[in-house]
Amino acid sequence: MTGNIDDLAALIRDAEGGRERFLEKFAAFCEQAFPRQATVTRKARGWLKRTVDIEELALRFETRVFVLRRNGTGVVAEIAHEVRGVVISRKEVPVRDWITELRQKIHEAGLAVSGEGHAAAELTDFQP
């Protein structure tokens, strides 16, 4: 994935449609754009555990934790408020709202300016 904004828009459409590969594509995008903030949980399945699926993507920015989790063939988006490892609140939101709030948090944190990656700058310019 090149990490351009058209790719990101396609990923959002995939997520809203519940497509299975969305989480893998978006996790790769986030690992590249935010290597320190992204945590990806993978699970091996199948005979001889040869297939590895992404179960969860978590992005931590200050006290907010943005989570995408596999739920059957779809994706569930959550935003949590966490202080010193304790979750104060957690809400499930549509993927489009999740992306909007993530974009706002990235902009507040100034990651696009601080050199966190080219993809981060493109995500902050995204207008859903």
Is 90 exceeded by the pLDDT of residue 110? no
What pLDDT digit, counting tens, does each position of 18-35 carry? Answer: 556 777 888 888 888 888
What pLDDT digit, counting tens, does each position of 41-58 carry? Answer: 988 877 777 777 888 999
What pLDDT digit, counting tens, does each position of 61-93 carry? Answer: 888 999 988 887 778 899 999 998 898 999 999
Q: 15, 51, 8, 9: which is closest to 30 by C-alpha?
A: 8
- Is 59 in contact with 78 (CB distance < 8 Å)? no
The pLDDT of residue 126 is: 44
Strands (E), the chain: 38-45, 51-61, 64-71, 74-83, 86-93
Q: Are strands 51-61 and 38-45 parallel, antiparallel or unpaired?
A: antiparallel
Burial level of 75, CB count in 10 A (0-12/13-18/19+)?
buried
The pLDDT of residue 50 is: 73
| Domain-wise residue ranges, the chain | 5-124
